[in-house]
Structure 1
């Protein structure tokens, strides 16, 4: 039954009349609509982005700032995690760091949506009405978590995949081979995972193209591997990169409980019931596509979705010290499966209109909720960032950000708010990452001790089990007060007031308080 539902050539249906949902103006509106949630916030409130911005400040101004040189070091290297880092270099001097970051981040969802639509157009010869259900995944969990280099690489990967499909459809495989050598390098340097996704997509699509030409599956797979080998050059760079680093292990294989959670969280943002129901709606779309005899799946994209699903199952949670490797793939895997849906034969205008209306409504509602969520988070962050007005240049700040023991669905958007001390005050913040080979920033303020880096900024209620990182009282009791200038409590859980006796509050705001520490006299 399922086998019968997955059929058709790459360009099946291209010669049939187009529906109103394929209007260029409507498609362009869908592309630009994906950027709307990011327009209001001065700084996109993505979880890890603020931490990355601290690194961007160091890479830009280390040579000009005596304060930054005391705390950090930075050396460029060819690693597969440089997407936004590289774009900031020419943009920041023109726009300022914060505006440059916003410009790049705002562009990522529209690029992803454009890639989705191009792929659908190349595969189906048209835009199916169900394609609109896939577009909100451009604003999915990995993007909102602030994996901006990865999200940029995925956007580039889908745009490149659209080009791969088009050149293959036109029979220009030699030109494609030449083009995809540099294209693969661009995607790889944006982020390694995006390059891997591009390789899987191109391999699967080429295998189906070969099979549609009458070649057996085994030979088709071999030919597809040979065609895709033009993108193998980054493998040499990656092997050289990893041979020069130590640490950053790979772990947590086949954690199927976590993988199921990643699927349910593919659209995770703020409201658990709403986000979960949204994913249930996608499941219903896929189920109806299997049940309804007027709908089917493109063999091309269905096979691509299957290949990504196998990759999702095989990926561990941590690769080279970089966490959530499998989680990052989940939304895009689901999006590919949704993009695979099309009409089996002639378009039913009634069914097409119903699906298009529902798909567009789903997109608009998801964008509206994400816009509201971003605005709430941005207003909260902007209020808390007023603490920076009371922090001098070069200050050493320990931030302590409260989180519950477990069960957190609302994204922890303030977990790297302390990094704005680096961005705006050239100071030291205890929330940067120290995974060797994952980024190019090095910490050299040895007095920070246990409070040197992420996740030392995260504190939990005292009742939490010890395995869930440090409780608030224990953390406050062990602060190296003489080696830092300020303590910044952000959404802190209840704690023993005696642990902050003798500290001078210099600013208070909703959910936030800034204390002066003993090390203030040592401030540069």
Structure 2
């Protein structure tokens, strides 16, 4: 083989390496385009808020029920981006673009971190990044967290890449920290912990003067944290409910009523299940089997030395693994924290792992992980595409709802779990997003730049009183309570084969697989 042939072959190989991430990124976005509505539990609740913020009072009915409350908050990333998108795109199209951002951000963040660590992006980081793009957290619809995670991973990579130029490193990290904080406060705290772990790992390297450099490194991290910390203390979130004291209070309450043991067992199962389903398609059993295979391959690779984790991320990965077990369920109004940590751990492994040179079986292991990627994307695409029929039937039934209505979801006793809610819960928020009805959504001024007021606030308060007097409301009893509280339309989520019951003061105007739409009758 002559030199010209060798150069040409190397060029073709380089071109394939450059095309591989773009191909995987494109495939990760296909499921969003295959489904008319995305089966993401809380996603459309947030998207509806973005639409309200974009309209800013242009719809009189929405203006009567929601008050825009822009203020300094640590979770504004997609509120700002989403509001801008909803000003120029139709609501459902804008929501789809937001979903594409939420999927692309962690994928891109992993690749940036991998490039900063390895000076190239190999097959393994791309495959793992593609797998985690559709995650358990995406299933919840936590778009702000996913955008923040992508930014934090990229910023971590830039911090590592700038270690030999301290001035430039700080010049990049300080504004990056502010952006990450304003995107998602909890992600900023995670980013700070990861930076600290990286700095400790670097200080312990041979020839780095050991722990004597830690005070200087700590001062640099404090400089990065100074402005975001001041912003947090000045925000309404710092004084909101659900902080550390709320976590301690919840534990104390369970201890008093003797339910602490059961609560801890339930929490352990929740964390283990979130870890198994870190990559989620919407098929629970399949996702658990997939997750078991994925974690097993990574464990075998690390245990046998076929895969090596970059030394700078080893302590960070251990810290993320510890947080899977130790982080409280919620802080400062941010819930499901422990369920987010397996994704953080997988993202660090995705960026930091590389096949060991000359290790027998390393290439086969990378190929095995790569095979999981198209399997996962196929599962996601099939599950998401299947949601289309239910959505079309629901929106056809919703055309009979009068303008200027209040709507809310209700859940049967068998449909209150996370998996049961995925297909149905988004429907009530679509009544707001697509039909302009007023529905309860995330609108806590200590967390989001929106407040619920007017008739919707009054109906919600009345229902809360009824629910407190009759705990455990569900099914048609919950529908009746919502109608009695002033809601005009109620979406009842129930098992696909359940038969909807009659409700006094309301009539059924449509039903489909797993949902029934009730409309209050006059008088």
Aligning the two structures, in what range does the TM-score lie when normalised by the shorter sequence? 0.7 to 0.9
Match of 1:438 in 2: 447
Q: In structure 2, which of residues 188, 191, 210 is the aligned counterpart of residue 198 of structure 1?
A: 191
TM-score in terms of structure 2 length: 0.83
Q: Is the contact made by 2:66 and 2:451 (CA closer than 8 Å) also made in structure 1? A: yes
Match of 2:376 in 1: 366
Match of 1:187 in 2: 180
Match of 1:478 in 2: 481
Q: Is the contact made by 1:321 and 1:435 (CA closer than 8 Å) also made in structure 2? A: no
Q: In structure 2, which of residues 17, 28, 33 is the aligned counterpart of residue 23 of structure 1?
A: 17
Other structure's SS at 1:478 match: helix
Match of 2:517 in 1: 514
Residue 365 of structure 1: CA displacement?
A: 0.9
Match of 1:86 in 2: 80
Q: In structure 2, which of residues 157, 168, 186 is the aligned counterpart of residue 162 of structure 1?
A: 157
Equivalent residue runs for 1:52-67 within 5 Å: 52-67=46-61
Between 40-49 and 254-263, report the one with greater CA deviation: 254-263
Give, in whole Å, the separation in 2 of the partners of 1:77 and 1:212. Answer: 44
Between 501-510 and 263-272, report the one with greater CA deviation: 501-510
Residue 448 of structure 1: CA displacement?
A: 0.7
Give, in whole Å, the separation in 1 of the partners of 2:504 and 2:301. Answer: 63
Equivalent residue runs for 1:92-241 within 5 Å: 92-131=86-125, 132-168=127-163, 171-212=164-205, 214-232=207-225, 233-241=227-235
Residue 449 of structure 1: CA displacement?
A: 4.0
Equivalent residue runs for 1:314-329 within 5 Å: 314-329=326-341
Q: Is the contact made by 1:507 and 1:515 (CA closer than 8 Å) also made in structure 2? A: yes
**CA 278–93 in structure 1, closer or farther in 2 if over 3 Å, else same:** same
Give, in whole Å, the separation in 1 of the partners of 2:15 and 2:362. Answer: 9
Other structure's SS at 1:516 match: strand
Q: Is the contact made by 2:488 and 2:519 (CA closer than 8 Å) also made in structure 1? A: yes
Match of 1:13 in 2: none
Count matched residues.
487
**CA 20–282 in structure 1, closer or farther in 2 if over 3 Å, else same:** farther
Match of 2:6 in 1: none
Give, in whole Å, the separation in 2 of the partners of 1:357 and 1:212. Answer: 32
Other structure's SS at 1:500 match: coil
Match of 1:3 in 2: none
Residue 472 of structure 1: CA displacement?
A: 1.4
Q: In structure 1, which of residues 284, 295, 300 is the aligned counterpart of residue 296 of structure 2?
A: 284
**CA 136–311 in structure 1, closer or farther in 2 if over 3 Å, else same:** same
Q: Is the contact made by 1:188 and 1:194 (CA closer than 8 Å) also made in structure 2? A: yes
Q: Is the contact made by 1:116 and 1:135 (CA closer than 8 Å) also made in structure 2? A: no
Residue 87 of structure 1: CA displacement?
A: 0.5
Q: Is the contact made by 2:67 and 2:451 (CA closer than 8 Å) also made in structure 1? A: yes
Residue 368 of structure 1: CA displacement?
A: 1.3
**CA 479–43 in structure 1, closer or farther in 2 if over 3 Å, else same:** closer
Match of 1:459 in 2: none
Between 324-333 and 385-394, report the one with greater CA deviation: 385-394
Q: Could you list the runs of 5+ residues in structure 2 that have no partner in the other structure?
A: 1-10, 252-263
Q: In structure 2, which of residues 379, 394, 401 is the aligned counterpart of residue 384 of structure 1?
A: 394
Other structure's SS at 1:390 match: coil
Q: In structure 1, which of residues 352, 356, 369 is the aligned counterpart of residue 366 of structure 2?
A: 356
Q: Is the contact made by 1:118 and 1:159 (CA closer than 8 Å) also made in structure 2? A: yes
Residue 193 of structure 1: CA displacement?
A: 1.8
Give, in whole Å, the separation in 2 of the partners of 1:483 and 1:23. Answer: 59
- For residues 69-125 of structure 1, the C-alpha deviation after alignment (integer angstroms, 9 at most, x for no partner) is 222222101111111110023222222332222113213323322221222232234
Q: Is the contact made by 1:401 and 1:492 (CA closer than 8 Å) also made in structure 2? A: no
Between 242-251 and 286-295, report the one with greater CA deviation: 242-251
Q: Could you list the runs of 5+ residues in structure 1 that have no partner in the other structure?
A: 1-16, 457-465
TM-score in terms of structure 1 length: 0.83
Match of 1:460 in 2: none
Residue 148 of structure 1: CA displacement?
A: 0.6
Other structure's SS at 2:241 match: coil
Give, in whole Å, the separation in 1 of the partners of 2:33 and 2:321. Answer: 33
Match of 1:69 in 2: 63
Other structure's SS at 2:361 match: helix
